Amino acid sequence: MGRRPVKPASEGRRTIGIDIGGANLKYVCTDGNAASYPFAMWNRSSELTSSLVDHLSQFLPASSWAVTMTGELADCFLDRKTGVEFIVDAVCEAARRIGSQPSFAPEIRFYGVDGRFHRADDAKRLFEVVAASNWHALASQVAKTIAGDATLVDIGSTTTDIIPLRKGRVATSSMTDFQRLVGQSLVYIGCRRTPVCALVDRLWFNGASSRIMNEWFATIDDARIVLGIEPEHPDDCESADGAPRTVARSANRIARMIGLDQTFVSVEQAAKLAVQIMDSAKREIHSAFDAIDQPRGPIVISGHGRDLFDVPEDREVIDLSTELGGEISRCAPSWAVANLWADRSKAALVRKGRPSCDVS
């Protein structure tokens, strides 16, 4: 199946796609508006409802919310069932609070890896289907609207998804995180949160190979900042040591990985360490890609960590940031789930000749 142009969802019944992750809350509306906010689920879960209310109130009223999630895996929850139930309840409570405003009472559906949308009660009952579903939503929408035969590589802040697409469908039988880790379609490496000690055992410095300290002293984000791939964020202290995300502080964090600090390791030397860290991450992702990929069709690249994947020179590349625009592509699963639901709602209207709340 060849490449198809992206078409915006029809006007009238706006849908907001909501991707509730462990580190970010992301939103895309079918009217083209998008937003992403950092949200550390593991220590801010009690703020989820209020954050949803605050964020969603900034969008124009929508007739429906389509929700996908991965945040249920955060270790503030005993298990995935507890996490799914908590997130579902938080979304419904946010809707109730916003719904007190005139003409704003959204219909809510939760996406599952079965490719269906579920009401809140069903989502909690079918928690294994709803858990960790955002990759499936993105792959389904890409397969239907952008490239039916391709390999999707989506690199976010925490993970990399490598999904084969065939004949307009998701072409993998692996659905849970465990199954996908075993099958290598899920690589727990991203462009922000991955600890350096998860990527390398040793680093070369001044002609010597040093073992690294197995501590959360630095992350891949520090390597990207030192190398200029990611810009500095002096006001952002979401780092391993709680200090700003600047070149100088990132270099110092990397130096700690080999038992040193800024006194002994210059920014230029830290950059050489950063290259080794990045190369290791790229090798891990490429190894998984080689196990999944079938060398036919294009490679669809998504996510703000695309620099971690060097596309083979002989392959066509479709970059979602070009197809959708940078802001929406950063929230690609939200874009996907919004449009999947909007399309199904539209189809239901055509079948029944009237609005329906019973689409599943």
Burial of 47 (0-12, 13-18, 19+ CB in 10 A): middle
Report if residue 8 sits inside a domain: no
Residues 27 and 134 in one domain: yes
Residues 333 and 239 in one domain: no
Distance CA 179, CA 159 (A): 15
Residues 23 and 81 in one domain: yes
Distance of CA 141 to the CA centre of its chain: 15
Local confidence band at 358 (pLDDT 50, 70, 90 cut-offs): very low
What is the average pLDDT across 45-71?
95
Residue 256 confidence (pLDDT) above 50: yes
Report if residue 168 sits inside a domain: no
Domain tally, the chain: 2
3-state secondary structure 165-182: EECCEECCCCCCHHHHHH
More confident residue, 255 or 350: 255
Side chain identity at 102, as an amino acid letter? Answer: P
Residues 47 and 140 in one domain: yes
Residues 272 and 338 in one domain: no
Burial 169-185 (b: 16+ CB within 10 A, else e): bbbbebbebeebeeebb
Query: What is the model's pTM?
Result: 0.89
Instruction: For tokens 């500095």, name the residue.
Output: 232
Q: What is the pLDDT of residues 86-120, one digit of tens each?
A: 999 999 999 999 876 555 568 999 999 999 999 99
Residues 90 and 138 in one domain: yes
Report if residue 255 sits inside a domain: yes
Report if residue 142 sits inside a domain: yes
Residues 275 and 337 in one domain: no
Query: How high is the pLDDT of residue 12?
Result: 52
In this structure, how many other beta carbons lie within 10 angstroms of the beta carbon of residue 3? Answer: 17
**Interacting residues of 330 by C-beta distance below 8 A, sequence separation 6+:** 26, 34, 36, 303, 304, 321
Local confidence band at 237 (pLDDT 50, 70, 90 cut-offs): very high
- Supply the DSSP symbol for 110: E
What is the average pLDDT across 226-248?
97
Most distant CA atoms of the chain, gap in Å: 73
Report if residue 54 sits inside a domain: yes
Local confidence band at 355 (pLDDT 50, 70, 90 cut-offs): very low
Query: How high is the pLDDT of residue 100?
Result: 62
What is the average pLDDT across 205-210?
98
Last residue of a domain, one of 285, 313, 340: 285
Integer angstrom CA distances of residue 183 from 7, 97, 161, 290, 313: 33, 42, 11, 12, 25
Residue 6 confidence (pLDDT) above 80: no
What is the average pLDDT across 195-201?
98
What is the average pLDDT across 287-302?
91
Q: Work out the mean pLDDT of the chain and round it to a whole number.
A: 92
What is the average pLDDT across 295-305?
91
Percent of the chain past pLDDT 90, that is, above it, reads: 84
Residues 215 and 278 in one domain: yes
Q: What is the pLDDT of residues 119-153, one digit of tens each?
A: 999 999 999 999 999 999 999 999 999 999 999 99
Report if residue 98 sits inside a domain: yes
Distance CA 320, CA 335 (A): 11
CATH number where 127 lies: 3.30.420.40
Query: How high is the pLDDT of residue 117?
Result: 98
Report yes or no: 77 and 89 within 8 Å, Cβ to Cβ. Answer: no
Q: What angle do CA 63, 67, 70 make, to 5 degrees?
A: 165
Residues 275 and 328 in one domain: no
Residues 216 and 94 in one domain: no
Residues 129 and 46 in one domain: yes
Report if residue 60 sits inside a domain: yes
Last residue of a domain, one of 254, 285, 316: 285
Local confidence band at 348 (pLDDT 50, 70, 90 cut-offs): low
Q: What are phi and psi of 314, to 5 degrees?
A: -90, 10
Q: Is 205 helix (H, G, I), strand (E, B) or coil?
A: strand
Residue 94: which of 128, 48, 138, 131 has the closest Cα? Answer: 48
Q: What are phi and psi of 173, to 5 degrees?
A: -90, -10
More confident residue, 257 or 6: 257
Query: How high is the pLDDT of residue 64?
Result: 95
Query: How high is the pLDDT of residue 103?
Result: 52
CATH number where 277 lies: 3.30.420.190
**Interacting residues of 116 by C-beta distance below 8 A, sequence separation 6+:** 360
Distance CA 29, CA 204 (A): 47
Positive or negative: CA dihedral 188, 194, 198, 201: positive
More confident residue, 341 or 10: 341
What is the average pLDDT across 53-69?
93
Which of 150-154, 193-197, 341-345 has the least mean pLDDT?
341-345
Q: What is the pLDDT of residues 167-194, one digit of tens each?
A: 999 999 999 999 999 999 999 999 999 9
**Range(s) of the domain holding residue 122:** 15-147+324-352
Query: How high is the pLDDT of residue 220?
Result: 99
Last residue of a domain, one of 285, 309, 344: 285
Integer angstrom CA distances of residue 358 from 92, 314, 334: 17, 46, 22
Q: What are phi and psi of 83, to 5 degrees?
A: -65, -45
Report if residue 108 sits inside a domain: yes
Residues 280 and 231 in one domain: yes
Local confidence band at 60 (pLDDT 50, 70, 90 cut-offs): confident
Residue 295 confidence (pLDDT) above 50: yes
Residue 242 confidence (pLDDT) above 90: yes
